[in-house]
Amino acid sequence: MQELVERKPPFLAVLLGPAYRRTMTSKARQVGLLGGTFNPVHHGHLILARWAGEMLGLDEVWLIPNRRSPLRLGEPLAPAEERLAWVEASVRNEPILSACDLEVKREGTSYLVDTLEELTALHPDTAFTFIMGADSLNTFDHWVKAERILELVDIRVVPRPGDEAGPALASLEEKLPAAGGKVTMLPESPHLDISATEIRNRVQEGLSIRYYVADEVAERIEQGGFFRNPS
Ligand code: ATP
Protein backbone atom coordinates (compact mmCIF):
# COMPACT_ATOMS: atom_id res chain seq x y z
CA MET A 1 0.00 0.00 0.00
CA GLN A 2 2.80 2.33 1.00
CA GLU A 3 4.48 1.67 -2.35
CA LEU A 4 1.30 2.56 -4.21
CA VAL A 5 1.03 5.83 -2.32
CA GLU A 6 4.63 6.65 -3.15
CA ARG A 7 4.08 5.95 -6.86
CA LYS A 8 1.57 8.75 -7.37
CA PRO A 9 2.47 11.09 -10.27
CA PRO A 10 3.78 14.23 -8.55
CA PHE A 11 6.27 12.14 -6.59
CA LEU A 12 7.42 10.41 -9.76
CA ALA A 13 7.68 13.63 -11.73
CA VAL A 14 9.86 15.14 -9.02
CA LEU A 15 11.93 11.99 -8.54
CA LEU A 16 12.51 11.23 -12.20
CA GLY A 17 13.00 14.71 -13.55
CA PRO A 18 11.86 16.47 -16.69
CA ALA A 19 12.25 13.48 -19.05
CA TYR A 20 9.03 11.95 -17.74
CA ARG A 21 6.94 15.04 -17.41
CA ARG A 22 4.37 16.19 -19.92
CA THR A 23 5.76 17.05 -23.31
CA MET A 24 6.19 20.80 -23.75
CA THR A 25 3.37 21.68 -26.10
CA SER A 26 0.85 24.40 -26.79
CA LYS A 27 -1.87 21.78 -27.43
CA ALA A 28 -4.80 21.71 -25.05
CA ARG A 29 -4.82 17.98 -24.44
CA GLN A 30 -2.19 15.23 -24.20
CA VAL A 31 -3.18 11.70 -25.12
CA GLY A 32 -1.14 8.48 -24.97
CA LEU A 33 -1.70 5.74 -27.55
CA LEU A 34 -1.17 2.04 -26.86
CA GLY A 35 -1.52 -0.05 -29.99
CA GLY A 36 -1.75 -3.81 -29.99
CA THR A 37 -3.51 -6.89 -31.22
CA PHE A 38 -5.21 -7.31 -27.82
CA ASN A 39 -6.00 -10.93 -28.63
CA PRO A 40 -7.22 -10.69 -25.89
CA VAL A 41 -6.64 -7.48 -23.91
CA HIS A 42 -5.49 -8.37 -20.37
CA HIS A 43 -4.63 -6.73 -17.07
CA GLY A 44 -0.96 -6.34 -18.07
CA HIS A 45 -2.06 -4.00 -20.89
CA LEU A 46 -4.44 -2.09 -18.63
CA ILE A 47 -1.94 -1.59 -15.81
CA LEU A 48 0.66 -0.43 -18.34
CA ALA A 49 -1.75 2.01 -20.01
CA ARG A 50 -2.86 3.63 -16.78
CA TRP A 51 0.62 3.72 -15.29
CA ALA A 52 2.07 5.35 -18.44
CA GLY A 53 -0.72 7.92 -18.34
CA GLU A 54 0.08 8.75 -14.73
CA MET A 55 3.82 8.73 -15.28
CA LEU A 56 3.65 11.10 -18.24
CA GLY A 57 0.91 13.30 -16.78
CA LEU A 58 -1.36 12.55 -19.75
CA ASP A 59 -5.02 13.50 -19.85
CA GLU A 60 -6.04 10.18 -21.41
CA VAL A 61 -4.63 6.96 -22.85
CA TRP A 62 -6.35 5.33 -25.83
CA LEU A 63 -5.99 1.61 -26.55
CA ILE A 64 -6.03 0.89 -30.29
CA PRO A 65 -6.71 -2.68 -31.33
CA ASN A 66 -5.47 -3.32 -34.87
CA ARG A 67 -7.53 -4.98 -37.61
CA ARG A 68 -4.52 -6.84 -38.96
CA SER A 69 -0.96 -6.33 -37.77
CA PRO A 70 1.75 -6.24 -40.44
CA LEU A 71 3.99 -8.09 -37.95
CA ARG A 72 1.80 -11.00 -36.89
CA LEU A 73 0.62 -13.84 -39.03
CA GLY A 74 -0.53 -17.36 -38.27
CA GLU A 75 -1.90 -17.03 -34.74
CA PRO A 76 -5.53 -17.74 -33.77
CA LEU A 77 -6.91 -14.24 -34.14
CA ALA A 78 -10.36 -13.33 -32.81
CA PRO A 79 -12.37 -11.00 -35.10
CA ALA A 80 -11.31 -7.36 -34.87
CA GLU A 81 -14.79 -6.21 -33.79
CA GLU A 82 -14.75 -8.72 -30.92
CA ARG A 83 -11.24 -7.65 -29.79
CA LEU A 84 -12.46 -4.04 -29.84
CA ALA A 85 -15.50 -5.03 -27.73
CA TRP A 86 -13.15 -6.65 -25.18
CA VAL A 87 -11.11 -3.44 -24.94
CA GLU A 88 -14.28 -1.35 -24.59
CA ALA A 89 -15.56 -3.61 -21.80
CA SER A 90 -12.19 -3.46 -20.01
CA VAL A 91 -11.93 0.35 -19.91
CA ARG A 92 -15.59 1.14 -19.28
CA ASN A 93 -15.11 2.21 -15.65
CA GLU A 94 -11.69 3.82 -15.94
CA PRO A 95 -11.93 7.53 -16.79
CA ILE A 96 -8.36 7.94 -18.09
CA LEU A 97 -8.59 4.96 -20.52
CA SER A 98 -10.59 4.69 -23.77
CA ALA A 99 -10.88 2.33 -26.72
CA CYS A 100 -10.09 3.77 -30.17
CA ASP A 101 -11.85 2.03 -33.08
CA LEU A 102 -9.98 3.64 -36.01
CA GLU A 103 -7.88 0.63 -36.99
CA VAL A 104 -10.71 -1.86 -36.57
CA LYS A 105 -12.92 0.28 -38.84
CA ARG A 106 -10.22 0.70 -41.51
CA GLU A 107 -10.03 -2.20 -43.97
CA GLY A 108 -6.80 -4.07 -44.56
CA THR A 109 -3.49 -4.10 -42.72
CA SER A 110 -3.23 -1.58 -39.89
CA TYR A 111 -0.26 0.73 -40.30
CA LEU A 112 0.51 3.08 -37.42
CA VAL A 113 1.37 5.95 -39.73
CA ASP A 114 -2.15 5.91 -41.26
CA THR A 115 -3.70 5.90 -37.79
CA LEU A 116 -1.57 8.83 -36.67
CA GLU A 117 -2.35 10.85 -39.82
CA GLU A 118 -6.07 10.31 -39.14
CA LEU A 119 -5.85 11.06 -35.42
CA THR A 120 -3.83 14.24 -35.81
CA ALA A 121 -6.24 15.51 -38.51
CA LEU A 122 -9.29 14.64 -36.38
CA HIS A 123 -7.88 16.16 -33.15
CA PRO A 124 -5.78 19.24 -33.95
CA ASP A 125 -6.00 20.31 -30.28
CA THR A 126 -4.28 17.13 -29.07
CA ALA A 127 -0.61 16.16 -28.70
CA PHE A 128 -0.22 12.39 -29.03
CA THR A 129 2.45 10.21 -27.42
CA PHE A 130 2.90 6.65 -28.64
CA ILE A 131 3.65 4.08 -25.93
CA MET A 132 5.69 1.19 -27.28
CA GLY A 133 7.15 -2.05 -25.87
CA ALA A 134 10.97 -2.26 -25.87
CA ASP A 135 10.86 -5.28 -28.19
CA SER A 136 9.70 -2.94 -30.98
CA LEU A 137 12.96 -0.92 -30.77
CA ASN A 138 14.68 -3.59 -32.86
CA THR A 139 12.19 -3.35 -35.72
CA PHE A 140 10.96 0.24 -35.59
CA ASP A 141 13.24 1.46 -38.41
CA HIS A 142 11.43 -1.00 -40.74
CA TRP A 143 7.94 0.22 -39.83
CA VAL A 144 6.18 1.84 -42.78
CA LYS A 145 7.10 5.56 -42.95
CA ALA A 146 8.99 5.46 -39.64
CA GLU A 147 10.32 9.02 -40.13
CA ARG A 148 6.83 10.37 -40.71
CA ILE A 149 5.68 8.60 -37.51
CA LEU A 150 8.38 10.52 -35.63
CA GLU A 151 7.13 13.81 -37.07
CA LEU A 152 3.64 13.06 -35.78
CA VAL A 153 4.36 11.74 -32.25
CA ASP A 154 6.89 11.35 -29.50
CA ILE A 155 7.48 7.72 -28.58
CA ARG A 156 7.95 6.51 -25.02
CA VAL A 157 9.41 3.02 -24.71
CA VAL A 158 8.48 0.67 -21.88
CA PRO A 159 11.43 -1.54 -20.94
CA ARG A 160 10.93 -5.21 -20.20
CA PRO A 161 11.70 -6.14 -16.59
CA GLY A 162 15.40 -6.64 -16.03
CA ASP A 163 16.21 -5.72 -19.61
CA GLU A 164 18.87 -3.17 -20.52
CA ALA A 165 17.17 -1.37 -23.42
CA GLY A 166 19.82 1.37 -23.80
CA PRO A 167 21.83 -0.48 -26.49
CA ALA A 168 18.68 -1.16 -28.55
CA LEU A 169 17.78 2.54 -28.41
CA ALA A 170 21.34 3.57 -29.38
CA SER A 171 21.28 1.14 -32.28
CA LEU A 172 17.91 2.52 -33.46
CA GLU A 173 19.31 6.07 -33.34
CA GLU A 174 22.23 4.93 -35.50
CA LYS A 175 19.92 3.36 -38.08
CA LEU A 176 17.34 6.14 -37.89
CA PRO A 177 18.84 9.46 -36.70
CA ALA A 178 15.37 11.07 -36.59
CA ALA A 179 14.68 8.90 -33.52
CA GLY A 180 17.17 10.96 -31.46
CA GLY A 181 15.24 12.80 -28.74
CA LYS A 182 11.90 11.62 -30.18
CA VAL A 183 12.15 8.05 -28.87
CA THR A 184 12.92 7.94 -25.15
CA MET A 185 12.77 5.31 -22.44
CA LEU A 186 10.32 5.17 -19.56
CA PRO A 187 11.53 3.69 -16.27
CA GLU A 188 10.57 0.11 -15.54
CA SER A 189 6.81 -0.17 -15.21
CA PRO A 190 4.87 -2.30 -12.74
CA HIS A 191 4.89 -5.17 -15.24
CA LEU A 192 2.42 -8.01 -14.80
CA ASP A 193 4.08 -11.08 -16.24
CA ILE A 194 1.19 -12.29 -18.41
CA SER A 195 0.65 -12.31 -22.15
CA ALA A 196 -2.21 -12.82 -24.55
CA THR A 197 -0.42 -15.98 -25.76
CA GLU A 198 -0.56 -17.44 -22.25
CA ILE A 199 -4.24 -16.58 -21.98
CA ARG A 200 -5.05 -18.23 -25.33
CA ASN A 201 -3.12 -21.32 -24.20
CA ARG A 202 -5.04 -21.46 -20.94
CA VAL A 203 -8.37 -21.32 -22.78
CA GLN A 204 -7.24 -24.09 -25.09
CA GLU A 205 -6.28 -26.23 -22.10
CA GLY A 206 -9.65 -25.59 -20.45
CA LEU A 207 -8.13 -23.50 -17.62
CA SER A 208 -9.73 -20.42 -16.11
CA ILE A 209 -8.66 -16.97 -17.31
CA ARG A 210 -10.42 -15.21 -14.48
CA TYR A 211 -8.19 -12.47 -12.96
CA TYR A 212 -6.07 -12.41 -16.15
CA VAL A 213 -8.70 -10.38 -17.98
CA ALA A 214 -11.71 -8.28 -17.00
CA ASP A 215 -14.67 -10.45 -15.92
CA GLU A 216 -16.78 -9.36 -18.89
CA VAL A 217 -13.97 -10.29 -21.28
CA ALA A 218 -13.64 -13.76 -19.70
CA GLU A 219 -17.40 -14.25 -20.09
CA ARG A 220 -17.42 -13.12 -23.73
CA ILE A 221 -14.48 -15.39 -24.56
CA GLU A 222 -16.23 -18.34 -22.95
CA GLN A 223 -19.63 -17.65 -24.51
CA GLY A 224 -18.14 -17.00 -27.95
CA GLY A 225 -15.97 -20.13 -27.79
CA PHE A 226 -12.83 -18.18 -28.75
CA PHE A 227 -9.37 -19.80 -28.61
CA ARG A 228 -10.71 -23.26 -27.74
CA ASN A 229 -9.24 -24.89 -30.79
CA PRO A 230 -5.71 -24.52 -32.14
CA SER A 231 -5.56 -22.58 -35.42
P1 ATP B 1 0.92 -11.89 -27.50
O2 ATP B 1 1.15 -12.77 -26.31
O3 ATP B 1 -0.15 -12.39 -28.42
O4 ATP B 1 2.21 -11.55 -28.21
P5 ATP B 1 0.65 -9.46 -25.89
O6 ATP B 1 0.08 -9.89 -24.58
O7 ATP B 1 2.13 -9.17 -25.92
O8 ATP B 1 0.28 -10.51 -27.01
P9 ATP B 1 -0.02 -7.19 -27.60
O10 ATP B 1 -1.37 -6.91 -28.12
O11 ATP B 1 0.98 -7.68 -28.56
O12 ATP B 1 -0.21 -8.23 -26.37
O13 ATP B 1 0.58 -5.97 -26.80
C14 ATP B 1 0.25 -4.63 -26.95
C15 ATP B 1 1.25 -3.80 -26.15
O16 ATP B 1 1.21 -4.15 -24.77
C17 ATP B 1 2.72 -4.00 -26.59
O18 ATP B 1 3.34 -2.71 -26.57
C19 ATP B 1 3.30 -4.89 -25.51
O20 ATP B 1 4.70 -4.65 -25.34
C21 ATP B 1 2.51 -4.48 -24.27
N22 ATP B 1 2.32 -5.57 -23.30
C23 ATP B 1 1.93 -6.83 -23.55
N24 ATP B 1 1.85 -7.57 -22.42
C25 ATP B 1 2.22 -6.76 -21.41
C26 ATP B 1 2.34 -6.91 -19.98
N27 ATP B 1 2.08 -8.07 -19.37
N28 ATP B 1 2.72 -5.84 -19.25
C29 ATP B 1 2.98 -4.66 -19.86
N30 ATP B 1 2.89 -4.44 -21.20
C31 ATP B 1 2.51 -5.47 -21.97
pLDDT tens over the chain, length 231 residues? 333 333 344 455 445 544 455 566 777 899 999 999 999 999 999 999 999 999 999 999 999 999 998 877 667 899 999 999 999 999 998 999 999 999 999 999 999 999 999 999 999 999 999 999 888 899 999 999 999 999 999 999 998 777 777 899 999 999 999 999 999 999 888 888 899 999 999 999 999 999 999 999 999 999 999 999 876
Closest-lying ligand 1 atom to the alpha carbon of residue 38: 10
Closest-lying ligand 1 atom to the alpha carbon of residue 192: 27
Tell me the residue range of the domain where 200 lies. Answer: 33-224
Residue 18 lies in a domain: no
Residue 137 lies in a domain: yes
Residue 171 lies in a domain: yes
Residue 63 lies in a domain: yes
Classified as helix, coil or strand, 157 is strand
Residue 217 lies in a domain: yes
Residue 13 lies in a domain: no
CA of residue 45 to ligand 1 center, whole Å? 6
d(CA 139, CA 79): 26
Q: What is the CATH number of the domain that holds 130?
A: 3.40.50.620
Residue 72 lies in a domain: yes
**N-term to C-term CA, the chain:** 42
